[in-house]
Amino acid sequence: MPFADALSPLLGRLRVRYAQSGLPAFLAWWTGQLRDCIPARWQHLLSAPEQQLRLQWSDDGLTPVRVVGEVATALPVIRFPVDEAGVEAFEAAVGDLPAHAPRVLLLPPGAALRRTLNLPAAALNNARSMAAFEIDRQTPFRGDQVMYDCRVTMPPAGARTFAVDLAVIPKDAYRGLLERVGPIADRLDAVDLDVQGRPAGYNFLPLEGRRAHDHRPFLINLGLVLGGVLCLGLAMAQLVDNRRGAVAQLEAEIESQRAAARVTAQLKTNLEDAVRAANFLAEHRAQQPSMLELLRLLTELLPDDTYLERLSYSGDTASISLQSSSAAQMVERLQNEARFDNPSLVGAIQPDPRSGKDRATLTVRFTGEGAKP
């Protein structure tokens, strides 16, 4: 029991903190809402009623009362003093009750002395210890002369004091009562006071005197719950990891599509630049007169005894070198064509002794436009 005694203060503080929090009310509301969402038959299966065996004290003996939910069933009285037959009657009263169902001995209300204490809120976590210190002042007994227990009334938030119901039983009287119970005393979970057939909420039975419980089912269930929580956590972690992987893959695909889009945009820009350049060259070429058109006009304008030695064309200016019997009249002939502008001789007209014709060089601006008005 030393280990249990060491844990008792810690568990007491945890119970106080739990009771002061809003968690009990929330869990009660939540479970109620969940229960209302399932069929009535399932509600009955899932919400097992509280079961308890109460031993009510009387002058003749103990009256076993089996409590299942709100239904209490009284069984035949176990007579004092309790012998082997009384133990068998007790085991028959236990019957098919679950092993964890409490077995409570209810003593007469007059067996204990009760006092109500008002303690400072700072002592809430150590209410039992503070109540033990008050035994000498509030009762005619010393703390080592009694069996005691207390009930704490949880104060509202911000309260400066809280109420403690203290109940004490002289140890001699307590031992005498348990001696009358006999072997059943070793099979009890609690010794309480009878308040109109119900437990008052005390437990005078020390930890070492309480019935031993097999905690293996609880530990197995706890292990299963923890295992389920662990599996659920692992499944959720795996789900999150899968989602992260999917997001990373999607981001990689998006980045790949963005890169492809950038390449496409660059290709589009290059194509547009090439199209603009080609259009510019085409427009520029379209604006310049055709060399074939120039040759055709010269063929029509020049007399038959004239031939070209050289023809160069740069921009819109043509340079013409020719030999002709009427070289001096070439400027006038070119002026008659509307698409030739500003024809002029370059240098002097020189006779060619071999051909007997005159050699001349002319420049003319070829506009490629229609006839002059």
Task: Give the model confidence (pLDDT) of 180-210 as tens digits.
Answer: 998 998 899 999 999 988 999 999 998 888 8
Candidates 210, 206, 205, 208; CA nearest to 186 is 210
Look at residue 316 in the predicted model and tell me its pLDDT: 76
Average the pLDDT over 238-255 and give the result.
Answer: 94
Look at residue 1 in the predicted model and tell me its pLDDT: 46
Candidates 145, 141, 72; CA nearest to 104 is 72
Residue 163 in this model has a pLDDT that exceeds 80: yes
Q: How far apart are CA 251 and CA 243, in angstroms?
A: 12
Look at residue 39 in the predicted model and tell me its pLDDT: 81
Candidates 111, 94, 92, 89; CA nearest to 54 is 94
Residue 92 in this model has a pLDDT that exceeds 60: yes
Residue 235 in this model has a pLDDT that exceeds 80: yes
User: CA 92: distance to chain centroid?
Assistant: 54
- Reported as a single tens digit per residue, the pLDDT across 9-34 is 666 667 667 766 778 788 888 888 88
Residue 5 in this model has a pLDDT that exceeds 60: no
Look at residue 303 in the predicted model and tell me its pLDDT: 84
Percent of the chain with pLDDT over 90: 35
Average pLDDT, the chain: 85
Average the pLDDT over 57-61 and give the result.
Answer: 89
Structure tokens given for 263: 């390449």
Question: pLDDT-derived band of residue 372, with 50, 70 and 90 as boundaries?
Answer: very low
Whether the Cβ atoms of residue 12 and residue 128 lie closer than 8 Å to each other: yes
Look at residue 309 in the predicted model and tell me its pLDDT: 84
Q: How far is CA 301 from CA 182, 251, 295, in A?
A: 151, 74, 10
Q: How far apart are CA 373 and CA 272, in angstroms?
A: 42
Look at residue 26 in the predicted model and tell me its pLDDT: 85
Lowest average pLDDT, out of 22-31, 43-52, 210-219, goes to 43-52
Give the best-scoring range by mean pLDDT among 224-228, 303-307, 311-315: 224-228
Lowest average pLDDT, out of 10-19, 75-84, 238-247, 341-350, goes to 10-19
Q: Model-level pTM? A: 0.56
Question: pLDDT-derived band of residue 7, with 50, 70 and 90 as boundaries?
Answer: low
Q: What is the DSSP string of 152-200?
A: EEPPPTT-SEEEEEEEEEEHHHHHHHHHHHGGGGGG-SEEEEEETTEE-
Helices H / strands E in the chain, number of each = 9, 15
Question: pLDDT-derived band of residue 373, with 50, 70 and 90 as boundaries?
Answer: very low
